[in-house]
Structure 1
């Protein structure tokens, strides 16, 4: 299997044109004509992930977060990024990333989180006017799904903010979640897996009683509570780590002749 066959298939499923302008998805390291026999899937291309993939003989790492995000002005072992890129190049290990294009796609991160929590999806939280190549449907025709960052959804039953927080903690196997409780029963939620900073206006317009996201701080919590909306801060890694198992399953189904490994859960921080 050639690398370009895999990347072209993934870009049809999760079009790069659907990514935010500031993002950097795609093939970031590697030769398109290289042969691939084994794939490693992870949220981030950390040094630990790269060493695990290399030790397993994987020719390709598929990540959610791009290993190269901003301009690289130096390629040496003087920086963590430089060391990683040199290790990848020297071991001939490719890295392909799907970031906000995966987030925005109808079958991407929002659908994954919603399905895990048993929610009924309503609409994107922030719709993207995407006019590029649409994701292929199961029938092979071009679909007309709505692309966007985050989502609005309904719970099957009304819950208290605390009960919903505990559901998130259990389903995503989290050591802890942070709840700013506005005291209202929860039926409709807004969610932005990953970082939800800057979404207050969209959440206010949504009519949601609770916002589920990550990378949110003290003042964000106060702002939401004062607006009558509970906030569950589950962490950036907390809601997105299922990407690894989900993509590994997709790749295994698409390419049964390849060996595909999902990175185990590696929480980057400890709660003491």
Structure 2
């Protein structure tokens, strides 16, 4: 009997090294439920579980998830220090085929280090863009004034130059809706193919078009955008040369997170194109046709969603899922396996190291 029990214990320990932790599997299941991978644009995107780190029974990670837009070295360092079980990185760190994984490449080095520390990586990317209630709908909420005011971010001055140098302070994102939106209609610009839409996600698709019941002053919308995305101090904007900002009123707004020209520049243009980035010539083309362009720098159109929406949605679903799976597992688990399920706590945090690569220096 003792020999049999010892054999079972050894087999169990060996088995856990060839799979990720049960908590990480729960994270993946929750993400796939909230942001179905079938809604991602597989023609170019690479979504899903990109790094599955084996469970090390001797060094179990915390039941915590770190959300980020980009999985940089700094974000990897942060997750390792926090002992997270998983990183949900919106942008895929593995985007094209790899012929090798070495320490020489900085991104591959981060993946190797994360695997060594038992931290898995999941990337939802365009599934978050297209899903109802996803990033595009969050931009709709921003431009229609759903979010309340934020305090301006503080810029630290640099005494050794004539410029105020940014220390990349964290924008103060609006985390919840605090006011009623301007009356409007909202539609999907490019609906997802019907064959790929899971039940309950019928309104999925790329981009959103907001049509206000009555035209709104552009300056009012700029204030809403600054508050909602945490950049009240400055918004990059392009307007037609024959117009002044104070005189422009907006009836229709097209929105797409990230690089939105491929979604927004087809067919008739809305009065305002609101996205993360557009090329010089695309912005010129839009303004020459009479439209306004607001381009925030790529990830500034995305990061606020992690704070305002994804963190709470994932925490709610993951907590329910983990508690249910944990209760079931503890009832039938071997004594030596129960340690994996002993921790009932679940946490989801947004990275403090994650930021857009571009900052702004203001001359004194």
TM more than 0.5: yes
5+ residue gaps, structure 1, are: 135-141
Which one of 254, 260, 264 corresponds to residue 348 of structure 2? 260
- 1:270 aligned residue: 359
More strand by share: 1
Match among 144, 168, 171 for residue 225 of structure 2: 168
Larger radius of gyration: 2
Structure 1 partner of 2:286 = 224
Distance 1:172 1:156 in 2: 24
Deviation at 1:12?
A: 2.3
Cα distance in 2 for partners of 1:209, 1:32 equals: 50
Q: Does 1:251 align with 2:326?
A: no
Match of 2:69 among 38, 43, 59: 43
Compute the displacement of 1:159 (Å).
2.7
- The Cα shift of 1:132 comes to 3.3
Which deviations, in whole Å up to 9, do the C-alpha atoms of 1:210-268 show, x marking residues without a partner? 11012213212210011111111112111101232222211222234312211236232
Secondary structure class of the residue paired with 2:102: coil
Q: In structure 1, what is the Cα distance between the partners aligned to 2:88 and 2:222? A: 30
Q: Please list every run of at least 4 consecutive aligned residues from structure 1 whose deviation after the TM superposition is greater than 4 angstroms.
A: 31-36
Asked if residue 2 in structure 1 is aligned to residue 23 in structure 2, the reply is yes
**Which of 84, 91, 108 does residue 134 from structure 2 map onto?**
108
Instruction: Report what 1:22 is aligned to.
Output: 44
Q: 2:302 aligns with which of 233, 240, 245?
A: 240
Aligned residue pair count: 263
Q: 1:201 to 1:217 in 2, by over 3 A?
A: closer
Matched, 1:158 2:184: no
Deviation (angstroms), 1:144:
5.2
Taking the aligned partners of 1:70 and 1:49, their CA distance within structure 2 comes to 21
Residue in 1 aligned with 2:125? Answer: 99
Question: For each residue in 1:76-118, what CA deviation from the matched residue of structure 2 results, as whole angstroms up to 9, or x when unmatched?
Answer: 1111112111111111110011111111111211122222333
1:3–1:32 contact (8 Å) kept in structure 2: no
User: Does the CA contact (< 8 Å) of 2:259 and 2:278 recur in 1?
Assistant: yes
CA distance in structure 2 between the aligned counterparts of 1:26 and 1:47, rounded to whole angstroms: 20
In structure 2, list runs of 5 or more residues that go unmatched.
1-21, 145-180, 320-344
Matched with 2:148 is none
SS in 2 for 1:70: coil
Are 1:147 and 2:204 matched, yes or no? yes
User: In the aligned structure 2, how far is the partner of 1:32 from the partner of 1:221?
Assistant: 46
Alignment partner, residue 213 of structure 1 = 275
Distance in structure 2 (CA, Å) of the matches to 1:162 and 1:41: 32
How many Å apart are 1:121 and its aligned residue?
A: 5.0
Superposed displacement of residue 156, structure 1 = 6.2
User: Is 1:88–2:177 an aligned residue pair?
Assistant: no
Distance 2:292 2:119 in 1: 43
- Taking structure 2 as the reference length, the TM-score comes to 0.67
> In structure 1, how many angstroms separate the alpha carbons of the residues matched to 2:89 and 2:115?
16
Of 158-167 and 53-62, the range deviating more from structure 2: 158-167
SS at match of 1:189: strand
